[in-house]
Each structure stands twice: as structure tokens, then as C-alpha cells.
Amino acid sequence: DVEFPEFVREAALAGAEIILAPTALRSRWGFVANKMIPTRAFENGVFLLYANHAGREGTSEYLGESVIVGPDGAELARAGSGEEVLGARLVSANIERARKTLPYLEIVEQRRQVS
């Protein structure tokens, strides 16, 4: 469900700083891993760990390309199209820095208080 901005936003507003998103994304949907995941991480100032299924099952080909993205949208680690184990150092100070750069969460909270 990480493809939908509301789910990640609500988790971040509830205090989440790291979001793990296990998925089984097929190859034709590569733009999700390459474009949407960094955007979700950046717009919410969270670390996003996107763990995608890899390889073929029956007639389905899965993308692989699991990725770890920092709260600034920067890619910290990326797998290829096969099975891999990823690791990255998650520095909590980067969350505050990213949220100051793009204060969307603060703006959303302010708007909710007004309404």
C-alpha cells in the first residue's frame, strides 16, 4: 500500500520514522520502485525499506530491485533483479534534517488543527 501517499503520511504523522514495505511488484511496474518510493520517503521524512519479491513464479515475472531510501529521498542501497540481502546505516539525525528541508508533515498537522 506504500504506493498510496495517504498510508505513508498517516504512519509518519503517528510517529513512524522507518517504514518497511514488503511487496510483490511485477516487472512492468518498475516506476514504483524507481520514482514513487523515493518520493514517499522524501515527502514524509522517513526511511523507507521497500522489500520486493524477485524472480519468476508461473507466468509472473517479479521486479526485484528492493531499495532502502533515506528521509531525503536518497537511495541508500538497491538490489538487482535477483534475490539479495540489503543493508544500510540509518542515521536518525537525517530525519530531522529532511523534515526541515521539506516540512510537509508540519504543514499537514497545522492544517488539521485549524479545521
Domain ranges of the chain: 5-114
Q: What pLDDT does 63 receive?
A: 94
Q: What cell does 115 get? A: 479545521
Q: What pLDDT does 43 receive?
A: 95
Q: Count Cβ atoms within 10 A of the Cβ of residue 79 and give its class: 0-12 exposed, 13-18 middle, 19 or more buried.
A: buried
The domain defined by 5-114 folds into Nitrilase/N-carbamoyl-D-aminoacid amidohydrolase (3.60.110)
Q: What pLDDT does 75 receive?
A: 98
Helix (H, G, I), strand (E, B) or coil at 89: coil
The span from the CA of 46 to the CA of 44, in Å, is 6
The span from the CA of 43 to the CA of 103, in Å, is 8
pLDDT above 90 for 6: yes
Half-sphere exposure of 2 (CA within 13 A, CB side): 29
Q: What pLDDT does 115 receive?
A: 72
Helix (H, G, I), strand (E, B) or coil at 20: strand
